[in-house]
Amino acid sequence: MRKQIVAGNWKMNMNLQEGIQLAKSINDYFCEKPAKKAEVILCTPFIHLSGVAPILKADKLSLGAQNCASEVSGAYTGEVSADMIKSTGAQYVILGHSERRSYYHEDNALLNKKTVIALKSGLKVIFCCGEVKEERESGKHFDVVKKQLEEGLLNLPVGDMKNIVIAYEPVWAIGTGLTASPEQAQEIHKFIRTLVEKHYGKTVAEEMTILYGGSCKPSNANEIFSKPDVDGGLIGGAALKKEDFTAIVEAF
């Protein structure tokens, strides 16, 4: 059985005290009412990691970052390395989020390099892909996602795949209130799983966790997560409210 995951992407929200408060309330919730199926991951800003790590005591509650440097260490002012992230107690890092791809011009080659470094540090990688609105409307979304995955991820050794989670996030659905329909999500998740199978075989493909992201909320999570190739979600806005986030986790 492949792992089901609900990961909250806090993006650049909340100061340290607010972040710790939210992490505490989420931890308390899951200590009392353990998540039944899914592993729950909080992906916080770098600054919050070492403060949040010791708070997370609930079963199946993990910590992640939202980015890491493309170099191992050295004179890279302002950067944060994968080793540093790992040393806080975090287990995951999100790479290739569309906001990193578009605002910070991170391309597939750079993301490939970051992924290799993150895995070497012992982090698991949540690798994001997804098309913009025009690409969806012109029917290019399969090609776009294929290229992002083949150039960024699917050239790594097969042994690395157990430490990879793929997140499909249509850019037109991120923070817009629009969601892919459950059928659209299923269609492209299946396409992604078939692509993984082509590169690594059936067993790896069957075990790959593929998350959906983009305006996921308590009211639509259940329907999307019920699709056979959707193994959970990467949650932005709704991850900032304990009630919404925990309700999404319970949607399984």
* Whole-number Å distance between alpha carbons of 170 and 58: 31
The H or E element spanning position 86 is helix 82-87
172-191 residues in contact with ligand PGA (CB under 6 A) are 174-175
- Indicate which single residue of 64, 130, 214, 232 sits in contact with ligand PGA (rule: CB under 6 A): 214
Q: How many residues bind ligand PGA, per CB under 6 A? A: 13
- The H or E element that residue 42 is part of is strand 39-43
Single out the catalytic residue among 39, 99, 135, 169. 169
Q: Which of 185, 192, 235, 249 binds ligand PGA (CB under 6 A)?
A: 235
Task: Work out whether the CA dihedral 71, 75, 80, 82 comes out positive or negative.
Answer: positive
**Considering only CA atoms, which of 211, 214, 212, 208 is closest in space to residue 193?**
208
Stretches 19-27, 141-149, 155-163, 211-219: which one binds ligand PGA (CB under 6 A)? 211-219
Which two tokens mark 171? Answer: 């850019």
Distance CA 146, CA 27 (A): 37
Q: Which of 48, 97, 141, 189 is catalytic?
A: 97
- Assess 156 for contact with ligand PGA (CB under 6 A): no
Q: Is 97 a catalytic residue?
A: yes
Is 169 among the catalytic positions? Answer: yes
Give the containing element (helix H, strand E) for 22: helix 16-32
Residue with tokens 């290019």: 140
Least Å from the CB of residue 152 to ligand PGA: 17
Structure tokens at 31: 């200590």
Q: How far is the CB of 221 from ligand PGA (least distance, A)?
A: 10
State the residue for tokens 């993301």: 111
The nearer residue to ligand PGA, 56 or 94, going by C-beta atoms, is: 94
- Candidates 216, 224, 230, 249: give the one binding ligand PGA (CB under 6 A): 216
> Least distance (Å) from ligand PGA to the CB of residue 244?
10
Nearer to ligand PGA, 45 or 214 (CB): 214
Closest CA to 55 of 63, 46, 64, 47: 63
Name the minimum Å distance from CB 22 to ligand PGA.
15
Q: Active-site positions?
A: 97, 169
List residues near ligand PGA by CB under 6 A.
Answer: 9, 169, 174-175, 213-216, 234-238
